Amino acid sequence: MIRFHPTLRFHFLVAALVLAFDRATKWLIAKDIAPHDSIKVIGGFFYITHVENRGAAFSLFANSPSQWKMAMLVVFSIVALVVVLTLLWRNTHTMATTGLGLALILGGALGNLWDRLLTGRVVDFLLFYIGSYAWPAFNVADSAIVIGAGLLVIEVFFAKSTTAEKSA
């Protein structure tokens, strides 16, 4: 039996919670809101909407006629998952920002991959406006991926500045 370090178990728990919350919110949206319908939360700023994205982030490649589009998105997601799992495994013994960031990315990537494999599209539902500009709709998985990536960037910048200060 494989024994996981407690920190790794925590990271897997975070990823599982992200996946569960993502699945639950997408299910609720798909069940209760018809595609392309919206619920105004804060008029002119925030809406809950039901968008089905057949492309990548921000609907990139959504209108691509390529028969390989879905396969490439799935392969890219699987490669990203392998990289994230490898990095998490290597950071098993540290409870750092890096591990949390990777766990968030893992949970988010699993959530969107789940959608792509089962339905060929990802349910997006968070829609924000700033003036007349609409940010592309996104979901919990996308949010976790962006927050996780942000944590990794912060870790890189602060780790470099701390290392530079110690060597000076």
Q: What is the mean pLDDT of residues 5-29?
A: 93
Question: Is 152 part of any domain?
Answer: yes
* 2 CA to centre of own chain: 27
Q: Can you point out the beta strands (E) in the chain?
A: 38-42, 46-53, 122-130, 133-134
Give the Cα separation of 110 and 120 in Å (integer). Answer: 14
Q: Which domain holds residue 106?
A: 6-50+65-167
Helix axes 6-32, 140-167, angle to 10 degrees: 150
Q: Amino acid identity, residue 149?
A: A
Residues with a catalytic annotation lie at 124, 142
User: For residue 17, is it within any domain?
Assistant: yes
Residue-wise burial string across 45-80, b where 16 or more C-beta atoms lie within 10 A, e elsewhere = eebbbbbbbbbbeeeebeeeeeeebbeebeeebeee
In a domain, 1, yes or no: no
- Examine the pLDDT at 76 and tell me if it is beyond 90: no
Query: pLDDT by residue (tens digit) across 132-162?
Result: 899 999 999 999 999 999 999 998 888 755 5
The interaxial angle of helices 69-90 and 97-119, nearest 10 deg, is: 150
In a domain, 57, yes or no: no
142 domain-assigned = yes
Percent of residues, the chain, with pLDDT higher than 90:
50
List, as one string, the DSSP characters of 79-123. Answer: HHHHHHHHHHHHTTT--SHHHHHHHHHHHHHHHHHHHHHHHSSEE
For residue range 78-126, what is the model confidence (pLDDT) as tens digits?
888 888 888 888 776 666 788 899 999 999 999 999 998 899 889 999 9
In a domain, 158, yes or no: yes
**Residues forming a β-bridge with 130:** 133
Element (H, E) at 142: helix 140-167
Find residue 124's DSSP bridge partners: 51
Residue 168 confidence class, pLDDT cut points 50, 70, 90? low
pTM for the complete prediction? 0.82
**Number of structural domains, the chain?**
1
